[in-house]
Amino acid sequence: MKNLIVRTVKSPHILVILLVIPLGGFFLYARYSASQFFVCLAISLGVIIGYLIYAYITLNERQAVLSLERSECEERLNLLQVEIAHERQANTALQGKITNYSLLKNLTEKLCASFTLADTSQIIAADVNGVYDRAEMTVIVYLLRSAGELSLIASLRGQEPLNLKAKRGDLYDQWVFKNFKPLLVEDTKTDFRFDSEKISTEDGRTIRSLMSVPLTVGEKTVGVLRVDSSKEHHFSTEDLRFLNTVGNIGAVALENAQLYERVEDLAIRDSLTGLYLRRHLLERLSTEIGRHLRNDTQMSFLMIDLDHFKKYNDRFGHTAGDIVLKTIAMILSDMFKQPGDIVCRYGGEEFCVLLPDCNKKKAGKLAEELRKRIEGQTIILRRERTHITVSVGVAAFPTDATTKEELVQKADVALYEAKASGRNRTVMAKETI
């Protein structure tokens, strides 16, 4: 019945037919048959009016139900729209994380293939710069040296190396290093933690915002990774969080590179004096001979032997002999520190020096200067002031020799002549005719 009423109300032509036909019939009947039928007509009209009132009330109730259902649908639609917006945000965040994870994966692969501090630091700086890829941004990597100070090891602006004068960092870097936690400065002019007037950059760069993280492995700090910009509010908390993740990976890679270089040094350096071993010297000799042949230049070779060293060991003991060897090594390292110079402990109390791009005459002067310096050096052994002397043989390539074996032999022969003629002197190898 209810559905019939709703269908009737929703279809006006049906309602018109239902009302017009009976009323028309009633009026005709009452006009031509009997006037008493008007009573029946009035009753019929009353029934119809009641029906219409009932239909009107039913229609209002149905409209109320439909309005409520519409509100519920709109509410569900709004909730779905909010959920869709959240899903889009989550999807965007997920895509960002996937991108970051991909960058971290590539960085890790590059670092795994790097074994030197220079290469490792450059990879870290270049990848950080590639991640943010923003103008006016500088990436700096500091390494903690044995003296407990930060030392600049890599710096990039864009993809170009940047020569910074501030080699040990500024107040911001020291803060990160001492507090052992990341730092984000959105505007150096308004950050209450630092007095921008007291922070002067030696290289004259304008710094308005920066983020910096300590490079740590466990409880050990190996350096500081910093990114700064000349624009304020250039970095966000999310940027700092990702930089800290990069820093954790980079710290392990830098420590591994340090360990690798130490192992390499142990393989080619003498544990007592810290000088190169003979094996490394002979390898470099082959390389240098080839280079000097191509460039048609000269190089020289010094063979050095301590005079009467056995007497020092017999008189003062082997520990005192080690002190003498270390002292001579320090003098050699101090004198021959030009790029390319190689100082080597050849064996026992013998030392040698390779001098690239150095002719025989200049090498002879340097050898004589070395001899005099060692002769004048005071060494205290068991509270006794002692002195030691050396004999030096000098040979040059290609003046005296054309191969590395011949060069070493000519210097050794000259050294033997120096010892045979009284020691504490420099002898030049005889030129090949």
The residues assigned a catalytic role are: 349
Inter-residue contact 199 to 170 (CB < 8 Å): yes
Which two structure tokens, joined as six digits, stand for 234? 């250039």
Q: From residue 228, how far is each of 134, 222, 251, 403 by CA, in Å?
A: 11, 20, 19, 53
Surface-to-core class of residue 140, CB atoms within 10 Å of its CB (0-12 exposed, 13-18 middle, 19+ buried) = buried
Closest CA to 350 of 287, 301, 397: 301
Which of 369, 359, 415, 306 is closest to 428 using CA atoms? 415
Residue ranges of alpha helices (H) inside 228-337 are 237-268, 278-295, 309-316, 318-335
Beta bridge partners of 161: 156
Backbone angles phi, psi at 150, to 5 degrees: -75, 145
In this structure, the number of other CB atoms found within 10 A of the CB of residue 357 comes to 17
Dist. CA 285–CA 291, nearest whole Å: 10
**Are the CB atoms for 99 and 116 separated by under 8 Å?**
no
Q: What is the largest CA-CA distance in the chain?
A: 170
Q: What is the DSSP letter of 287?
A: H
